[in-house]
Amino acid sequence: MAQSAQQGPLFFREWRHEHPVIERAEGMYLYGADGRRYLDAAGGVHVVGIGHGVQEVVDAMERQARKVCFAYGGAFTNQAQWDLADKILALAPPGMRKVYFVSGGSEANEIALTAIHHYFVEKGKPTKTRVIARWQSYHGSTVGAMSMTGNVLRRRDHSAYALPFPHINPCNCYRCPYGSTYPECGLACAWELDRTIRREGPDTIAAFIAEPLVGTTAGAFTPPPGYYEVIRQVCDQHDVLFVADEVITGFGRTGQKFGSDHWQAVPDIITCAKGISSGYAPIGAVVIQDKIWQAFAQGPRDTFFIGYTFSGHPVSCATALAVQNYLEKHDLIKRSAAMGDYLKRRLLDLAERTPSIGEVRGKGLMLGVEFVRDKASKKPFPAEAHFAGRVVRAALAKGLHLIGSSGTADGEVGDHLLITPPFIITEAQCDEMVAILEETLCEVMSNG
């Protein structure tokens, strides 16, 4: 049973494709109304860490809903909000001081943008307004977040109203933008930030934003050692804030608490969403360093005017708190690292016997699989082939939910999958996933 996307009242994002009706979900699987079962290799869309249908999280939601579902955050607070903020600060890198709740990743990046500007106004540097981001990144669909987003395909239709934010090359060792290799490259792509700030004018640049590992739009581009240490050094030198967009990488996805923990480079701001609540409720957060809070606290103003109706929603906060407690109780971040190692080995084995897989990369359970038409030359499939889309749909028909995207090679062509299953995945389920993927790739390749 599928919801025909062209009929009915729903405005689907991809209206030419059918959307199976999901009736329930448990553990690693989604169950369709027609009785079909789908192995969730994408954690929804890089969201679900603890698995589906955890009763104690549902109980926590119910308990909170029975107490109070909504009390306006501009006038009231709630205990769940305080407890969750404490929990996030305990997990976050050193020096993080305050948490501002929102409802998702785009909102988190919008708030970060306005908080950055407020910070520099308080510091007497109001001309610092622009943010440098990277090509092939994704930071959300609202105007500010889309202006930072460097994904060409997503920007194309929306650039008319995008803010004039500069972009630098991503760190992509498989297709180095400088045609070099690590470590001989000297991390040229990180030093590009320095050149760009100087060229644009340090007095106009407020921040640099990056996903620790680039997610949906690049299939887990993973910087080598030293990359973010250079970024941190350059930001410090020019009084530019470093924002880590941890919407996917936060809360254990990469096998560490935050993606930033893989490097010795503590961000000034972390934006997060998805994994906070494992998808049980919509929530995101902006986490700021003490130095930013001090500028707010000591400045002449006492109001941050930008906010959202559902910021700090009691049920969302209680849900996310229960999810984080569950993650801790079952040591699931460690499990993300261990199962990520296992799954990566299995995907690397698959790559060896599959001509269309050019690279497998990533950390923990955030793994990218990049497709190529020719392994030796790394030539991608033409855009018209819609290779990733065909793989995703063929896999779904076989009971495997994947997320794939295009533009991996240069923003226009190239295809990848971003594999992000819940951390509770077993070795047998990893094997099941790889077997269905192999069968799918054989089918798609043989169909031309």
Ligand X SMILES: Cc1ncc(COP(=O)(O)O)c(C=O)c1O
User: How many residues touch ligand X (CB under 6 A)?
Assistant: 14
One character per residue 84-113, x = contact with ligand X (rule: CB under 6 A): --------------------xxx--x----
| Residue of 119, 120, 135, 138 interacting with ligand X (CB under 6 A) | 138
Among 52, 118, 128, 139, binds ligand X (CB under 6 A): 139
Tokens describing residue 4: 């025909």
User: Which position among 247, 357, 365, 394 is part of the footprint of ligand X (CB under 6 A)?
Assistant: 247
Smallest gap from residue 407 Cβ to ligand X (A): 14
Alpha carbon 311 to its chain centroid, in Å, reads 20
Give residue 168's identity as a one-letter amino acid code: I
For residue 208, give every residue at least 6 positions away whose Cβ sits within 8 Å of its Cβ, in sequence order, or none.
Answer: 131, 132, 133, 193, 231, 234, 235, 240, 241, 242, 243
> Rounded to 5 degrees, what angle do the CA atoms 268, 361, 195 make?
45
Residue ranges in 213-307 assigned as alpha helix (H): 227-237, 290-298
Measured from the CB of residue 216, what is the shortest distance to ligand X in angstroms?
5
- Residue 167 and residue 193: Cα distance in Å, rounded? 9
Residues 291-350 touching ligand X, rule: CB under 6 A, are none
Question: Could you say whether residue 356 binds ligand X (CB under 6 A)?
Answer: no
**Residues near 79 by beta carbon (within 8 Å), at least 6 away in sequence:** none
Q: Is 119 in the site for ligand X (CB under 6 A)?
A: no
Q: Does 248 bind ligand X (CB under 6 A)?
A: yes
**Of 247 and 436, which has the nearer Cβ to ligand X?**
247
Q: Report the nearest approach of ligand X to the CB of residue 295 (Å).
A: 25
Q: Does 211 interact with ligand X (rule: CB under 6 A)?
A: yes
Give yes or no for a contact between 351 and 359, defined as CB atoms under 8 angstroms apart: yes
> Which residue's Cβ lies closest to ligand X?
105
Report the 3 state secondary structure along 289-338.
Answer: EHHHHHHHHHCCCCCCCCCCCCCCCHHHHHHHHHHHHHHHHCCHHHHHHH
Determine which residue in the list 20, 140, 212, 279 makes contact with ligand X, applying CB under 6 A.
Answer: 140
Instruction: For the CB of residue 301, give the shortest distance to ligand X in the complex, in Å.
Output: 28
Residues 270-299 that bind ligand X (CB under 6 A): 273
Please select the residue that binds ligand X; options are 78, 216, 277, 440, rule is CB under 6 A: 216
Reference 284, options 314, 258, 320, 240; nearest CA is 320
What does the binding site for ligand X look like in residue numbers (CB under 6 A)?
A: 104-106, 109, 138-140, 211, 215-216, 245, 247-248, 273
